[in-house]
Amino acid sequence: MKRFILAVLACVAFPLFCGAQNVTLVTLDWPPYVDSGMNNKGFNAEIVSEAFKRVGYTAKIEFADWDAAVAKASQGKYDGLFPEYYSKEREQDFIYSNFFSNSLLVFYKRKGAKINYTSPKKLQELSSYKIGVVKGYINTAEFDAATYLKKFEADSDEANLKKLLNKELDIIVIDKLVAQYLLQKHMPGAAAQLEPMDPPLIIHPLFLLFPKKNPNSQKLCDDFNKGFNMISKDGTANAIMKRSSLQWSIEPAK
């Protein structure tokens, strides 16, 4: 009897050694952050999985169209959704984790194109240009609310890069790492023809979201934060970044 009680107490205190609990997460194909075609499913997926592993969970990651992923997760059909920027709108339906990565959001243009842009606080400078965005993506509150800008939606970042190259658009909004990855892997001939614009539109912290409809979401969020803190402190998170061959540090956005 004593042995049984001790075993139960051990499982409560150290769930990692007593069989991991499952957590089902949904994401999108957003290489190099997350990608169903990669062995590790992308460095963001690897970081999230490792953080959960440290606190006794096995993360199952599914991929979907982003709009569908957000809708299903908000209904509680998944335990979590990632990676996502912060927005007040999302916070109505989700609990936000602590940040676990960053996204450098920039404008891209054709090399040689003269675009008058000096600051993300002066978006009016871009009112005469055709700007490509991805449907369903959050950019910045100011940019997304700017009805005076000529914004054209596409289904993917790659589609926007192609439209930019073909002169259907003047500039596009895109994550810098995503642009570099897509140009290197899928459009190598275009890499020398397109370039990012300075300054960045914003540096976004990336979060894991837990649906408020699920009663255990706050606990899952707390556990994930604890796990990420572990892998951040011992260097595992940055080691994952190095293995991905990406030069981007896991540091809070300034």
**Is residue 250 one of the residues assigned to a domain?**
no
Distance CA 215, CA 204 (A): 28
**Is residue 253 one of the residues assigned to a domain?**
no
Instruction: Render 155-194 in DSSP notation, one character per residue.
Output: S-HHHHHHHHHTTS-SEEEEEHHHHHHHHHHT-GGGTTTE
Host domain of residue 88: 2-101+206-243
**Is residue 159 one of the residues assigned to a domain?**
yes
What is the average pLDDT score of the chain?
89
**Is residue 10 one of the residues assigned to a domain?**
yes
Same domain, 136 and 157: yes
pLDDT tens digits, residue range 78-136? 999 999 999 899 999 999 999 999 889 999 999 999 999 999 999 999 999 999 999 98
Distance CA 242, CA 220 (A): 27
pLDDT tens digits, residue range 196-249? 999 999 998 999 999 999 999 999 999 999 999 999 999 999 899 877 655 444
Helix (H) or strand (E) holding 220: helix 217-233
Task: Supply the CATH number for residue 167's domain.
Answer: 3.40.190.10
Same domain, 81 and 107: no
Helix (H) or strand (E) holding 133: strand 130-134
pLDDT at 17: 46
The model's pTM is 0.74
pLDDT tens digits, residue range 126-135? 999 999 999 9
Lowest mean pLDDT, pick from 10-19, 32-41, 170-179: 10-19
